[in-house]
């Protein structure tokens, strides 16, 4: 066991970090968080604190014996074989947690509760967008998962094989993840909003053997087709042998006999007997692709024992999960990490009843979520600032029309929550009573790393507060030196944590380069942050070329690649600009090839916005595409996105000393002015 950190010789700080600190100093892309002596604090209500799962002693215990603390949390799980080692950090940055233990994720989520006599406890309260409902107990879910595990095995899926999942928010999706994990296979969920191209790239990278999908699903009162997208993704031939299809939308789909299998024909008739075997703690659990600073998404790899330990611990500690009484609802889609950690795994591991809703919050109207909270008496709600800001726009009457008195705790994730939205969430949704936990983490971190403890922390609107017990966070300058309170710096994690990513699928070098090269054996998260005088953390936004639109991560390079993929485009620059509701919005600047000037600019804009949506998915569709004559570049020809951001946000352009040709600013400004008189195509 070795928990020591061997810091590499501090060489020259990499260029990226230097540029980015300047970015922080300029205040670009940052939600300015108001704080100072007059800031408001909200102490935990006494009754909440009195019954909270975790108290202040957790910080003391974890700081006294960090590894012992995590070992205690791990022992809350069922181990097929007990571990004797906690952490092996002998080959950083490749950590091993509980490595000689054996565990089964699905057994922990299901069998354990049924064996304890809680089979009749409700696991899922599901509501479809059209209003259909299902209530599924732990015993029923175990039955379904066992049958599916047998089907997967019959289809030739073995431990270590990858299974791509392209499904909406339906109970079968949860069953799929648990069945895949049960047999030691590795799931790779692709968000249903991604295009056929994005799906194909992810299937190919993971070399998936099977795809699980649905015919279609309900979205804004219509069927959004899924199986046709899978067909298109597989058209050119891949490693996929079978496609298992849930009937949900009832929409007509093409069928490739031999390859395609209906869920309802295969699963119900399979045996419900399936013994879950233990797999090594470091056995891969899933891959989840996320955008980085290059055009190619990274397959973030998570393994089993440490991931289950930290997701379930944080769910108990930060969401105060109470299996007998809570009705928990996390609104995230399973296509994102939040939907993995805090929908598919932690709540079930902790034996909680949870709500799952298929559709959009505005269908049939903006009252839908609040109607759901009222109907199921939701006690803990976990959602994103972008959703809260949408409800603020709609107006509090829509929320207040419902009885929300069951809510006792509220959570936020995806981006920094601006104090105004925090206060509204607190007052309108939480009746000025329910504590709010703002949770900072990432796809890579697997579980929450910073948040308040709701029974302990006096919360401050806009601050993610503290590293959780057992996690060591710091804020440093680009030489790796801790910065003073009040100064912006880069957020790093000083020591390995149980649910940390174990690598990037098939690309160990990129894993090392992306997260570990900058500061030796400290993990560099890509976020700017500062500590205030009380030691509370304020997140300041990404310091790399990653955008955050509605709490979803998008890469500027990926969008630029999609644009230049179009035959008419010579060059493209994409930036995220501040947006009141979505946090950031994508704005692109495009130089067309010479012979393309015949089409009108608004037509070109329409075509290119659609092209990006077709190539990546609707979430990446730029808000505007400005057709310009040239882009701001350095003398060496590198596009200066900072200048584009200033121009798009219509503020004075900052430092222009690196600009090769100053005239470009006037030219682009004129082009933006002209374009703004035309509606985006
Ligand atoms: C990035 C990670 C974690 C699940 C959702 C997004 C930003 C996330 C917060 C927060 C400030 C936040 C960061 C982070 N972020 N939560 N509470 N306060 N920023 O997961 O797609 O991996 O994105 O989202 O910039 O690096 P993701």
In sequence order, what DSSP letters do the residues of 113-152 get, joined into one string? HIIIIITTSEEEEEE-TTS-EEEEEHHHHHHHHHHHHHHH
Question: Would 529 be classed as within a structural domain?
Answer: no
The pLDDT of residue 327 is 98
Question: Would 524 be classed as within a structural domain?
Answer: no
The pLDDT of residue 14 is 35
Ligand 1 atom with minimal separation from the 525 CA? 26
The pLDDT of residue 598 is 61
Nearest CA to ligand 1 atom 13: 415
Last residue of a domain, one of 470, 501, 527: 470
- Reduce the DSSP state of residue 544 to 3 states and report it: coil
Are 157 and 25 part of one and the same domain? no
Angle, alpha carbons 580-582-585 (nearest 5°): 90
Are 138 and 285 part of one and the same domain? yes
Q: Verify whether ligand 1 is closer than 6 Å to residue 553 (CB atom).
A: yes
The pLDDT of residue 430 is 98
CATH at 645: 3.30.300.30
pLDDT digits (tens, 9 = 90+) for 76-135: 999 999 999 999 999 999 999 999 999 999 999 999 999 999 999 999 999 999 999 999
Q: What is the pTM of this model?
A: 0.91
Q: Verify whether ligand 1 is closer than 6 Å to residue 531 (CB atom).
A: no
Residue 403, CA distances (Å) to 355, 377, 389 in order:
17, 9, 20
Are 17 and 60 part of one and the same domain? no
Are 25 and 61 part of one and the same domain? no
CA proximity to 551, closest of 559, 537, 539: 539
Last residue of a domain, one of 447, 470, 493: 470
Angle, alpha carbons 524-316-119 (nearest 5°): 130
Are 577 and 613 part of one and the same domain? yes
Question: Would 503 be classed as within a structural domain?
Answer: no
Counting the structural domains of the chain, the total is: 2
Q: Which residues of the chain have pLDDT under 70?
A: 1-38, 597-598, 681
Is 413 in contact with 450 (CB distance < 8 Å)? no
Q: How far is the CA of 457 from the centre of ligand 1 (A)?
A: 21
The pLDDT of residue 614 is 95
Question: Would 517 be classed as within a structural domain?
Answer: no
Q: Verify whether ligand 1 is closer than 6 Å to residue 415 (CB atom).
A: yes
Are 445 and 564 part of one and the same domain? no
- Rounded distance between C-alpha atoms, residue 1 and residue 90, angstroms: 8
Are 548 and 403 part of one and the same domain? no
Nearest CA to ligand 1 atom 20: 442
Are 210 and 324 part of one and the same domain? yes
Question: Would 436 be classed as within a structural domain?
Answer: yes
pLDDT digits (tens, 9 = 90+) for 225-270: 999 999 999 999 999 999 999 999 999 999 999 999 999 999 999 9
CATH at 53: 3.40.50.12780
Are 30 and 158 part of one and the same domain? no
Nearest CA to ligand 1 atom 2: 442
- Rounded distance between C-alpha atoms, residue 444 and residue 440, angstroms: 12
Q: How far is the CA of 189 from the centre of ligand 1 (A)?
A: 18
Q: How far is the CA of 153 from the centre of ligand 1 (A)?
A: 36
Q: Verify whether ligand 1 is closer than 6 Å to residue 384 (CB atom).
A: no
Question: Would 520 be classed as within a structural domain?
Answer: no
Are 404 and 288 part of one and the same domain? yes
Last residue of a domain, one of 438, 470, 502: 470
Are 173 and 272 part of one and the same domain? yes
Q: How far is the CA of 574 from the centre of ligand 1 (A)?
A: 20
CA proximity to 74, closest of 448, 466, 497: 497
Question: Would 513 be classed as within a structural domain?
Answer: no
Mutate to test the pocket of ligand 1, among 441, 514, 552, 582 (most ligand atoms within 8 A of CB): 441
Are 311 and 174 part of one and the same domain? yes
Tokens 């202040």 belong to residue: 56
Question: Would 494 be classed as within a structural domain?
Answer: no
Domain of 654 in residue numbering reads as 6-39+544-675
């Amino acid at each position: 066991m070795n928990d020591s950190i061997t810091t590499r010789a501090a060489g020259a700080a990499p260029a990226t970090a230097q540029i980015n600190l300047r970015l922080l100093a300029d205040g670009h892309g940052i939600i300015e968080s108001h704080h100072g002596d007059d800031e408001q604090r909200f102490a935990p209500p006494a009754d909440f604190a009195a019954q909270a799962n975790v108290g202040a002693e957790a910080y003391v215990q974890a700081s006294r014996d960090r590894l012992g603390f995590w070992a205690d949390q791990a022992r809350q799980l069922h181990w097929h074989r007990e571990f004797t080692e906690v952490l092996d950090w002998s080959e950083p940055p490749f950590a091993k947690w509980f490595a000689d233990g054996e565990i089964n994720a699905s057994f922990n989520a299901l069998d354990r509760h049924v064996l304890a006599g809680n089979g009749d406890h409700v696991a899922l309260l599901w509501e479809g967008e059209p209003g259909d409902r299902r209530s599924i107990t732990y015993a029923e879910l175990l039955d379904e998962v066992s049958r599916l595990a047998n089907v997967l095995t019959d289809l030739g899926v073995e431990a270590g094989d990858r299974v791509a999942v392209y499904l909406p928010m339906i109970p079968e999706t949860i069953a799929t993840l648990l069945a895949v994990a049960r047999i030691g296979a590795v799931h790779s969920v692709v968000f249903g909003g991604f295009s056929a191209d994005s799906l194909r790239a992810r299937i190919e990278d993971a070399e998936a053997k099977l795809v699980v999908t649905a015919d279609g699903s309900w979205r804004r009162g219509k069927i959004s087709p899924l199986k046709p997208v899978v067909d298109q993704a597989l058209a050119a031939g891949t490693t996929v042998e079978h496609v298992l299809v849930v009937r949900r939308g009832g929409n007509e789909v093409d069928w490739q006999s031999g390859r395609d299998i209906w869920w309802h024909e295969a699963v119900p008739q399979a045996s419900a007997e399936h013994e879950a075997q233990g797999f090594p703690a470091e056995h891969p659990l899933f891959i989840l692709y996320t955008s980085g600073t290059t055009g190619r998404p990274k397959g973030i790899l998570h393994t089993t024992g440490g991931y289950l330990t930290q997701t379930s611990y944080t769910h108990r500690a930060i969401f105060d999960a109470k299996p007998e009484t809570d009705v928990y609802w996390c609104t995230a889609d399973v296509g994102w990490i939040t939907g993995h950690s805090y929908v598919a795994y932690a709540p079930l591991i902790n034996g909680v009843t949870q709500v799952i809703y298929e559709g959009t919050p505005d269908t049939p109207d903006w009252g839908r979520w609040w109607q759901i909270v009222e109907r199921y008496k939701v006690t803990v709600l976990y959602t994103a600032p972008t959703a809260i800001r949408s409800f603020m726009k709609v107006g509090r009457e829509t929320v207040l029309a419902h009885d929300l008195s069951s809510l006792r705790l509220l959570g936020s994730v995806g981006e920094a929550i601006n104090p105004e939205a925090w206060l509204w969430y607190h007052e309108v949704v939480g009746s000025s009573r329910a504590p709010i936990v703002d949770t900072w983490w990432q796809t890579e971190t697997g579980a929450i790393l910073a948040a308040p403890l709701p029974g302990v922390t006096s919360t401050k609107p806009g601050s993610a507060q503290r590293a959780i017990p057992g996690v060591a966070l710091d804020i440093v300058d680009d030489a790796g030196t801790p910065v003073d309170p009040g100064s912006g710096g880069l957020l790093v994690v000083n020591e390995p944590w149980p649910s940390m990513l174990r690598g990037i699928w098939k690309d160990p070098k990129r894993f090392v380069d992306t997260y570990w090269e900058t500061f030796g054996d400290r993990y560099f998260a890509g976020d700017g942050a500062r500590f205030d005088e009380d030691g509370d953390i304020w997140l300041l936004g990404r310091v790399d070329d990653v955008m955050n639109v509605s709490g979803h991560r998008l890469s500027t390079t990926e969008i630029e690649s999609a644009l230049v993929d179009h035959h008419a485009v010579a060059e493209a620059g994409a930036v995220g600009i501040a947006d009141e509701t979505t946090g950031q919005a994508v704005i692109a600047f495009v130089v067309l090839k010479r012979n393309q000037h015949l089409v009108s600019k608004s037509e070109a804009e329409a075509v290119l916005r659609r092209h990006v949506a077709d190539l990546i998915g609707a979430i990446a569709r730029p808000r505007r595409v400005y057709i310009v004559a040239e882009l701001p570049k350095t003398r060496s020809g590198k596009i200066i996105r900072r200048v584009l951001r200033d121009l798009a946000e219509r503020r004075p352009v900052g430092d222009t000393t690196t600009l090769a040709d100053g005239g470009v600013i006037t030219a682009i400004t004129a082009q933006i002015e002209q374009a703004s008189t035309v509606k985006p195509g």
